[in-house]
Amino acid sequence: DSPGFQRTEVPRPPGGKDLHAYPWDRSSLKSMPVDLQQFEKLDAYALQVDVKNSVEELVKALLKQARTDLEKVRAIWMWICHHIEYDVVGYHNKSQLSCKPIDVLQAGKSICEGYAGLFEQMCSIAGIQCLKLSGYSKGYGYKMGQTFTGDSDHAWNAVYLDGRWHLLDSTWGSGSVDDAFTKFTFRYNEFYFLTHPALFINNHFPDNSNWQLLKPTLTLKDFESNMLHSSNFYMLGLLGAHPETGVIHTVNGKASVSVDCRSATLFMFKLKESEEHGLMTLKKHGMKLDIYPQKTGSHKLQIFAKPSKGSEELYSCVLEYRVECSSVDKAMHFPKELSQPVGPSWFTERHGFLRPSHPDPIIHTNDGRCSVTFTLGKDISVLASLHCDHSSLAEDMGRRHIMQIHRGNQIELKIHLPHAGNFVLKIYAKKKSDPGNYDYVFNYLITCLNTEVKWPAFPQSYSKWAEDYEILEPLSGSLPANRNVQFKLKMHGVAKVLVQAEDTYPLTLSRGCWEGTCNTSGCREVFVMVHENANHSFYSHVLKYEVETQ
């Protein structure tokens, strides 16, 4: 041995104080306290060390900046994760491949066996106890719910620090291979450095169960049936998912998944690559998803997440399930326009929609009418529209079946459905002070099974109809022919109000409402007009009603 390097004594087997409780106690992602900021200088130093002629020389160079055993292990880990790439060609042709540490170092590439062997030797030179472990892994090519038989397929390491054993996987710390297993990409993953054993077991099952470092240990059957969480799952601060098994069976055509997390997180899902046939709601500490596959058989369900702060960030896949569907619930066929997530949440609150009258994503109505209220944040202007599949609801008509009523900072959306069915109520908003377009905020699903329902649209309003005006009657935009129709409108700040049919009928102001009647004979349209200032002769149109043909 080169002078100055001591070989380590025989490692002691794991037991007692090495063991962690299972399931995970949600305390930390690592098996010992690690302050990553304190490693910044050391990490940067280790990355630029460039020694390829001997393992001893490499370790000597790395240890120049490392004082403690933890720092030594960190420097070795960082160097391997950033300098050794996965050998996809060697993987397919193992007979030609040497996993000897010096060969791995000089080639700059290897398979898991080579990563773990180099790690073990470098630690040994640095005087740190380290072992190479082997076992089954849920890595490349893993299929949900599969069983594991035969020889182990992966290798990783255990290191002895501060009187306890800890686990790490430098192969998975270094990056990933593509689906075709033809290309490796360096993508450093902090998760696999001193991973908490209750999380490591999620995708590493050692040949010798003592090296799970868990109490109680898991059986291979547990390992096979447990849900696979990607490292993104934990790195995004997610805590758990239900169900905990990778394969879910529908009950009466429905399957449900929920995720718990520490802080507000945005989610999306894909069932067989599309975002249909599901109803996802965001919760303060997670999300809930009900899916209703519209075909029997086996379906892949993926769940994606991203932090709510990082609007620029992409969604990462955090969970994958296999859904076995034995029967289809045709009634739960959602309109194409439905966007995920559905219903109000912390996200809509952030956009100024507070205290919703309907906290749930689905609004059921029996008579085809419903009303949704919110307290609005300051300076918010709202636009709402109604959509459904195969219906005559053109964009403008979709708006005409909703009436906005403002009372102080409260907004009420009154909805009259044109017929039975499933509808999407889409809600958009913008700052009143913003000249720009409205931004989509969220949507509800409105369902009505009553086939008798047939509500006409509300009257058409013009730009002079102020947002805090209110129609008390007639609410229907379609008036009967040859009838006297009673008008009652809540409007302020106007001098005169006229209803123009064949003749013109003035309304009178009584207790804050303009009231009167008009006769619909001999006309096809009726307009409500206001005179804003008694000194002007100019009238503005504010409402338009259609008159039914005989």
Per residue in 109-165, pLDDT tens?
A: 999 999 999 999 999 999 999 999 999 999 988 988 899 999 999 999 999 999 999
Which range, of 91-100, 276-285, 392-401, averages the lowest pLDDT?
392-401
CATH 3.10.620 occupies which residues in the chain?
Answer: 16-226
Instruction: Return the CATH number of the domain spanning residue range 461-547.
Output: 2.60.40
User: Is 261 designated active site?
Assistant: no
Which one of 81, 112, 325, 370 is the catalytic residue? 112
pLDDT on residue 9: 58
Phi, psi of 537 (to 5 degrees): -100, 10
The SS3 call for residue 232 is helix
| 401-430 pLDDT tens trace | 999 999 999 999 999 999 999 999 999 999
Q: Residue 108 carries which DSSP code?
A: T
Phi, psi of 179 (to 5 degrees): -60, -30
CATH 2.60.40.10 occupies which residues in the chain?
Answer: 236-325, 346-458
What average pLDDT does range 449-455 have in this prediction? 95
| 464-515 pLDDT tens trace | 998 889 999 999 999 999 999 999 999 988 999 999 999 999 999 999 999 9
User: Is 112 designated active site?
Assistant: yes
Whose tokens are 């000089």? That residue is: 106
In this structure, the chain runs to a length of 550
Residues 23 and 394: their CA atoms lie apart, in Å, by 53
pTM as predicted: 0.85
Residues 278 and 339: their CA atoms lie apart, in Å, by 10
In this predicted structure, the answer to whether residue 3 has a pLDDT above a threshold of 60 is no
Amino acid at 62: L
pLDDT on residue 335: 92
Which one of 18, 99, 130, 154 is the catalytic residue? 154
More confident residue, 130 or 15: 130
Q: Quick one: what percent of the chain has pLDDT higher than 70?
A: 97
Whose tokens are 């379906």? That residue is: 299
Which one of 43, 169, 261, 277 is the catalytic residue? 169
pLDDT on residue 310: 67
What average pLDDT does range 182-210 have in this prediction? 97
CATH for 236-325 (2.60.40.10, 1.10.3720.10, 3.40.190.10, 1.10.1740.10): 2.60.40.10
User: Is 285 designated active site?
Assistant: no
The end-to-end CA distance of the chain, in Å, is: 107
C-alpha distances out from residue 451 to 76, 366, 367, Å: 71, 10, 9
Instruction: Return the CATH number of the domain spanning residue range 346-458.
Output: 2.60.40.10
| Tokens representing residue 525 in the block | 């349209």
Fold of 16-226: C8orf32 fold (3.10.620)
Phi, psi of 72 (to 5 degrees): -65, -45
